[in-house]
Structure 1
Amino acid sequence: MHHLFGIIPIPQPLQSRSLVYDLKARLDWGKPALTILDVRDRVLFNASHIVGAISMPADELIDRALASLPLNRDLYVYGETDEDTALIASQLRTVGYRHVSEIRGGVSAWKAVGFPIETVLTAA
C-alpha cells in the first residue's frame, strides 16, 4: 500500500519571476538541476546568502556564467534590489540564457520566511 504522505509535489515550471517559496519548492524537490546566482558584492554574499547560492558579482557575472553554465541551465538570480535583479536577468537573457528567474525580494525575503541561509567566515 502506498502512502501519499511525505511526497513532495512537482513544482511549477520556471517562471521569469519567482517567489522564495517557488525556489524552496524546487530545492526540496531536488530536480531538475538549477543554479542560484547571488550577484551582490562579495561582502554582502559573505554576510549572508541563500543556501547553495554561488557568488557571481554583477561586474564579472556574464563572463563567468558563459564560461561555466550551459545556456539551458535553470538559473535563479538575485541582487540587492529587485531592480538590480531584473537588470542582471535581462543581461543573462540577452547573451542566450533561456531559463532565468528573478527571485523577488532576494535574500531578505528568503530570511524573512525563515528559510536557511549561509555565511562565509573570512579572516580579519
Structure 2
Amino acid sequence: MKLFGILPTPPPLKAQSRVYDLKARLDWGEPALTILDVRDRTQFNSHHIMGAVCMPIQELTSRALTSLELDRDIYVYGETDDETVEAATQLRQVGYKNISELRGGVAAWKAVGYPVESASSLLSA
C-alpha cells in the first residue's frame, strides 16, 4: 500500500522491546526476523512464543552462528530479564548487530493474551 508516495515500513528494531513491539512487527507480516527462546528445552516445550526457536543459553552462540545471519533481526528472551540480557550480550559479542531484548519474555507475552505454543499443541496439530 502506498500513501502519498511513501512506502509504509514496520516499526524499527529497538535494543529493548516490549511484547507490543514484537507483536506489531509480527502483525505487519514481517518474515525477516527470528525469535529466540534461550530457556532450557523443558521450559520451551512447556510453552513458548508462537514461532520461537529454542536455543538454550548454554549452546546459544555456537548454534546461532551456524544458523542465523549476523545482520538478521533477532528478538531474544529468557526465563528472566537478566537471562535475556546475558543472551543478548553473548550474541552481540560474537557479531550480531540487530538484537532486541524482549522484556518480560513469554510471561509478559501470555499476560496480554498473545498466542503461545507448547510441545503438546505442536504434536496434536
**TM-score of the pair, normalised by structure 1:** 0.89
Correspondence 1:1-124 to 2 at 5 A: 10-31=9-30, 33-121=32-120
Q: Secondary structure at the match of 1:52?
A: coil
Cα offsets for 1:76-119 (capped at 9, x unmatched)? 00000000000110110010000000000000000000000000
Gaps of 5+ in 2: none
Number of aligned residue pairs: give it: 117
TM superposition shift of 1:10: 3.9
* CA-atom RMSD in angstroms: 1.9
Q: Is the 8 A contact 1:62 1:92 kept in 2?
A: yes
Gaps of 5+ in 1: none
Q: Is the 8 A contact 1:93 1:100 kept in 2?
A: yes
TM superposition shift of 1:32: 5.2
Q: Distance in 2 between matches of 1:89 and 1:43?
A: 21
Q: Secondary structure at the match of 1:15?
A: coil
- Percent identity between the two aligned chains: 64
Cα offsets for 1:32-73 (capped at 9, x unmatched)? 500000000001000000000000000111000000000000
**TM-score of the pair, normalised by structure 2:** 0.88
Q: Distance in 1 between matches of 2:110 and 2:89?
A: 25
TM superposition shift of 1:31: 1.9
